[in-house]
C-alpha cells in the first residue's frame, strides 16, 4: 500500500491541515479519550480521538483512516458554514445534503492540500470496497442512502463496486444530472438548495412508484380473485358432473335390473302361455286368434274324433304355435303393445342413456383438459374412458400437458417482469425517510479503527505518543551553505572515493552476466567441441545467467539530540553515505530528528496518559523525489539540540519506505543509542525502540544502527545489525567491507 508523501511540499500541505487540529487554522480543539471511536462536534469545533489510536505499532491502514476521519471533520468545521437551525429535520433531506456537502468540502480541501487529496482519495477507495462487501453480504438495506453513496463515488470518477438495487438505480437515473451540479456549488447553503431540488424530485418519483405499485397490486388481486372464482366454478361443475355421472350409472343399473326382470317376466309369461296352449290344445284351441277360431269351429262341427286324429292335431298345433308366436311379435311391434315389444323399447332407452352419459363424460374430459392448460395442475381422469383409453388421455400425457402449461405460465410471468423491471423494485416501503437509514460512513471508519486497536500487540499498546504537535520542517539553505558543504566534503573526499569505488565494484559484480556451463541443454559450448566429436560427454551446453540489480531504497536518520557532541562526525558520515549512494543510483532520504522542548511538554503534565508528549521535530534534508546535487547543502544544518525519540523516528521512516517499489528497504540510524524524551521515562523509550526494530524486521525492513565513537546503539539494534566506527577519518577497509555487505545483503565480497 503506497501512502507516503513524495516531497516536502506534500508534507507541508498535509501538516497545514494537521495544524488545524490544534486550532491554528479552524479553531479546532482535539480531545483524547479512553474509548475507540472518532467523533466530532462541528458546532463547538471539537474532535474526539481515542488515545489508543496514538499507540506504537498501529497499522498504516488505521493511520490513514484516522487521518482521513480527522481531515473530514476538520473540513466541516472550517468549510460548512450552516447554523444548527438551518440543518433540515427530515432524514431524507439531511442525508442528501450531507452527501452533497461532503463532496464539496472534500474537494475544497483536496485543492488546498496535496496531502489531503491523497488521504481522502485513498479513503474513498476504502469505502467503496467495504460497502461493496457489505452489500454482497446483505448487511445494508437503505435505498436512498445507497443511491447517495453511489452518486458520491461517481462524482469522484469512481464506479460503485456493487450492483445497485432496482430502486436505487432508479433514483440514480432520475437525479444524477442534478447531483453532479455539486461541483458548481460554492457554499453549504448552495448545497442545501440543490438538496431540496433533489429531494422534491425523489419525493415525486417515489409517489409515482407507489401509485404504480398499488395499481399492480390491484391488478394482481383482481386476477387472483378471477382465478379463484373460475376455480370455484369449475369445481362446482365437476361436482355436478360427478353427480350426473352417478345418476346415469344408477339409471343404467336400474335398467339392467329391469331388463333382467323383464326377461324373467317374459319367460314366465311364455311358460304360462304354453300351459294355456296345452289346456287350449286339450280343449281344441290355438294360441293365435285365427287358428283358435278355426279350431273351435272344427271342434263344434266334429264333436267326435279318433285318438290318432287328436295326436296329429296336437303336432300341428305345436308347429302353428311357433308361427303364431312370431306373428304375435310382429303384431306387438306394429301396435306398440307390451310383452317383448316393451323389452326392446327399454333396451333402446338404455342405449340412449348410455350415449348421453358418454357425451357428458366427454364434456367433463374437455373441461378437465382446459383446466389443466389454464392452471398447469395435474388432474386424474375419473371416467371409464380415461382408464380404457376409449375417450381420454393417459396419466403421463396429462403430466406432460401440465408441465407445458406451467412453463407457458412461467414464460408469461417472466415477460411481465421484464416489461415492468424498469419501474419496479423488490420489497421496501415508500418512505424515503426510512430509506436513508443505512450504515454511516463514519461508522465504517470507526469500526475499522476499533478493529485495528483491538489487534494491537499489548507491548505496543502500552506506548502512546501525542503526535498532534509534531513539526515537519524543510531547512532553508542559502548559497553560503553550498560553500560550507564543499569545504566539509573535502574532509571526507578520500573516504567518499573509497566507499564509492567499493560500492561500484560490488554493483558491477552483481550486474555482470555469468555463464553456467556443463549443461545437457542450452547453447553449444565451443570449448567442448572435442567432447562433442568424440562423444565423450553430453554436458556440452551452457546458459547465460543475467546479473542482479541493486534494488534497494535507504532511509538515513540523523540523531540531533543534545547528547550528540560529535554531531559534526555524524554530519560528515551522512555526507559520505549520500554521495556514495547517489553515484550508484540508489534512492535515499535523509531526515534529522529532535524534540521541540528541552524537557516535557510545558502544557501537558505527567500522567496525561501519553508516554511521549514532548513534540518531535522532523527535518527533511532530502526526500526521495529530490535530486541530491540540488539539496545536499541542507545537510550542513544538522546539529545537537534537545532530545531524541529514536523508536518513533525509526517507525516514521519505516512508514515512508512502505510505499517504495524497491524490493529491499533499509534504515540507517546514526545516533548515540540513548533514547531520551525529557519526561523521565527513558526505559520505556528504549523498550519501544527495540520493539519497533523487531516489528520492522518482521515486515521485511532492515534496520541498522551506526555508532561513531560509541557502542551503545548495539544494545538496542543488536550485534548483527550494528556498524561501529571510531571517526569518519577512520573509514578504512573494514568499514567499507561492512557497508558494502549491508548494501548488497552479503551477495558480494569486497
120/103 Cα distance (integer angstroms) = 11
Domain 471-512+550-744 sits in CATH at 3.40.50.410
d(C-alpha 131, C-alpha 128), whole Å: 5
**What pLDDT does 730 receive?**
74
The predicted pLDDT at position 20 comes to 55
* Residue pLDDT, tens place only, 619-654: 999 999 899 999 999 999 998 899 999 999 999 999
Smallest CA-to-CA distance from 462 within 604, 609, 650, 595 is with 609
Q: Whole-angstrom Cα distance, residue 564 to residue 514?
A: 47
How far lies 310's CA from each of 289, 293, 315, 318, 725, in Å?
A: 20, 17, 9, 12, 172
Q: What is the DSSP letter of 435?
A: T
Task: Extract the residue ranges of the chain whose pLDDT is less than 50.
Answer: 1-10, 12, 21-24, 259, 261, 264-350, 352-353, 355-428
Write down the pLDDT at residue 174: 92
Residue 60 has a pLDDT of 77
- State the chain's maximal CA–CA distance in angstroms: 189
Q: State pLDDT tens for residues 317-330.
A: 444 444 444 444 44
pLDDT, residue 669, reads: 93
Q: How far is CA 182 from CA 99, 111, 145, in A?
A: 10, 15, 17
User: Can you give the pLDDT at residue 532?
Assistant: 75
Residue 14's pLDDT is 53
User: How far does CA 362 lie from the centroid of its chain?
Assistant: 58
pLDDT value for 750: 60
Domains of the chain, by residue range, sit at 8-165+433-455, 471-512+550-744, 513-546
What per-residue confidence (pLDDT) applies to 704? 93
Predicted local confidence at residue 30, as pLDDT: 78
The pair phi, psi for residue 188, each rounded to 5°, is -70, -30
How far apart are alpha carbons 517 and 520 in whole angstroms?
Answer: 9
Among residues 125, 102, 144, 95, the alpha carbon closest in space to that of 431 is found at 144
3-class secondary structure for 438-499? CCCHHHHHHHHHHHHHHCCCHHHHCCEECCCCCEEECCCCCHHHHHHHHHHHHHHHHHHHHH
Amino acid at each position: 500500500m503506497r501512502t507516503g508523501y513524495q516531497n516536502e511540499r506534500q508534507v507541508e500541505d498535509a501538516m497545514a491541515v494537521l495544524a488545524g487540529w490544534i486550532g491554528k487554522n479552524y479553531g479546532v480543539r482535539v480531545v483524547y479519550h479512553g474509548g475507540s471511536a472518532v467523533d466530532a462536534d462541528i458546532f463547538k469545533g471539537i474532535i474526539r480521538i481515542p488515545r489508543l489510536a496514538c499507540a506504537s505499532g498501529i497499522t498504516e491502514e488505521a493511520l490513514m483512516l484516522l487521518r482521513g476521519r480527522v481531515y473530514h471533520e476538520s473540513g466541516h468545521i472550517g468549510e460548512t458554514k450552516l447554523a444548527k437551525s438551518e440543518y433540515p429535520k427530515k432524514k431524507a433531506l439531511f442525508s442528501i445534503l450531507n452527501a452533497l456537502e461532503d463532496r464539496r468540502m472534500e474537494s475544497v480541501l483536496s485543492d488546498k492540500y496535496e496531502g489531503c487529496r491523497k488521504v481522502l482519495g485513498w479513503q474513498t477507495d476504502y469505502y467503496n470496497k467495504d460497502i461493496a462487501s457489505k452489500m454482497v453480504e446483505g448487511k445494508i438495506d437503505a435505498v436512498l442512502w445507497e443511491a447517495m453513496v453511489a452518486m458520491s463515488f461517481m462524482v469522484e470518477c469512481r464506479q460503485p463496486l456493487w450492483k445497485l438495487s432496482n430502486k436505487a438505480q432508479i433514483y440514480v437515473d432520475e437525479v444524477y444530472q442534478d447531483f453532479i451540479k455539486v461541483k458548481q456549488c460554492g457554499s453549504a447553503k448552495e448545497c442545501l438548495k440543490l438538496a431540496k431540488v433533489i429531494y422534491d424530485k425523489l419525493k415525486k418519483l417515489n409517489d409515482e412508484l407507489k401509485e404504480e405499485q398499488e395499481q399492480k397490486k390491484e391488478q394482481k388481486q383482481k386476477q387472483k380473485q378471477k382465478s379463484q372464482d373460475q376455480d370455484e366454478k369449475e369445481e362446482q361443475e365437476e361436482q355436478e358432473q360427478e353427480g350426473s355421472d352417478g345418476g346415469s350409472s344408477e339409471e343404467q343399473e336400474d335398467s339392467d335390473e329391469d331388463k333382467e326382470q323383464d326377461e324373467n317376466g317374459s319367460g314366465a309369461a311364455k311358460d304360462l302361455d304354453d300351459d294355456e296352449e296345452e289346456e287350449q290344445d286339450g280343449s281344441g284351441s290355438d294360441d293365435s286368434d285365427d287358428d283358435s277360431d278355426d279350431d273351435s269351429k272344427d271342434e263344434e262341427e266334429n264333436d267326435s274324433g279318433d285318438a290318432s286324429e287328436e295326436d296329429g292335431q296336437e303336432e300341428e298345433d305345436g308347429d302353428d304355435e311357433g308361427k303364431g308366436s312370431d306373428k304375435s311379435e310382429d303384431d306387438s311391434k306394429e301396435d306398440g303393445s307390451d310383452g317383448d315389444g316393451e323389452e326392446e323399447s327399454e333396451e333402446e332407452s338404455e342405449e340412449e342413456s348410455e350415449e348421453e352419459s358418454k357425451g357428458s363424460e366427454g364434456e367433463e374430459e374437455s373441461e378437465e383438459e382446459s383446466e389443466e392448460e389454464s392452471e398447469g395442475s395435474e388432474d386424474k381422469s375419473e371416467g371409464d374412458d380415461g382408464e380404457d383409453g376409449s375417450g381420454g388421455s393417459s396419466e403421463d400425457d396429462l403430466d406432460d400437458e401440465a408441465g407445458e402449461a406451467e412453463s407457458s405460465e412461467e414464460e408469461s410471468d417472466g415477460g411481465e417482469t421484464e416489461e415492468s423491471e424498469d419501474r419496479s423494485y423488490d420489497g421496501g416501503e415508500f418512505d424515503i425517510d426510512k430509506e436513508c437509514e443505512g450504515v454511516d460512513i463514519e461508522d465504517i471508519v470507526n469500526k475499522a479503527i476499533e478493529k485495528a486497536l483491538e489487534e494491537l500487540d499489548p507491548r505496543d499498546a502500552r506506548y502512546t505518543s501525542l503526535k498532534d504537535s509534531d513539526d515537519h520542517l524543510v531547512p532553508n539553505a542559502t548559497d553560503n551553505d553550498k560553500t560550507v558543504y564543499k569545504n566539509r566534503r573535502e574532509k571526507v573526499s578520500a573516504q567518499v572515493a573509497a566507499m564509492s569505488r567499493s560500492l561500484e565494484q560490488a554493483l558491477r559484480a552483481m550486474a555482470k552476466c555469468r555463464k553456467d556451463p556443463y549443461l545437457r541443454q542450452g547453447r553449444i559450448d565451443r570449448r567442448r567441441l572435442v567432447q562433442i566429436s568424440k562423444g565423450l560427454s553430453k554436458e556440452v551446453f551452457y546458459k547465460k545467467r543475467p546479473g542482479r540489480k541493486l534494488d534497494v531504497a535507504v532511509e538515513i536518520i540523523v540523531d540531533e539530540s543534545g547528547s550528540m557532541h560529535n554531531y559534526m562526525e555524524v554530519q560528515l558520515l551522512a555526507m559520505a553515505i549520500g554521495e556514495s549512494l547517489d553515484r550508484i543510483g540508489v534512492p535515499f532520504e535523509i531526515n534529522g530528528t529532535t524534540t521541540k522542548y528541552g524537557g516535557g511538554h510545558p502544557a501537558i503534565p505527567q500522567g496525561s496518559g501519553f508516554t511521549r508528549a514532548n513534540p518531535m521535530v522532523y527535518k527533511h534534508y532530502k526526500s526521495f523525489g529530490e535530486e541530491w546535487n540540488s539539496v545536499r547543502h541542507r545537510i550542513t544544518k544538522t546539529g545537537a539540540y534537545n532530545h531524541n525519540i529514536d523508536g518513533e523516528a525509526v517507525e516514521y521512516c519505516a512508514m515512508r519506505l512502505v510505499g517504495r517499489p524497491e524490493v529491499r528497504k533499509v534504515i540507517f540510524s546514526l545516533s548515540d543509542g540513548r533514547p531520551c524524551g525529557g519526561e523521565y521515562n527513558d526505559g520505556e523509550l528504549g523498550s519501544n525502540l527495540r520493539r519497533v526494530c523487531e516489528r520492522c524486521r518482521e515486515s521485511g525492513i532492515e534496520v541498522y544502527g551506526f555508532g561513531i565513537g560509541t557502542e551503545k546503539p548495539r544494545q538496542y539494534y543488536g550485534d548483527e545489525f550494528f556498524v561501529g566506527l571510531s571517526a569518519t577519518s577512520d573509514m578504512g577497509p573494514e568499514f567499507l567491507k561492512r557497508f558494502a555487505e549491508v548494501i548488497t545483503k552479503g551477495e558480494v565480497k569486497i
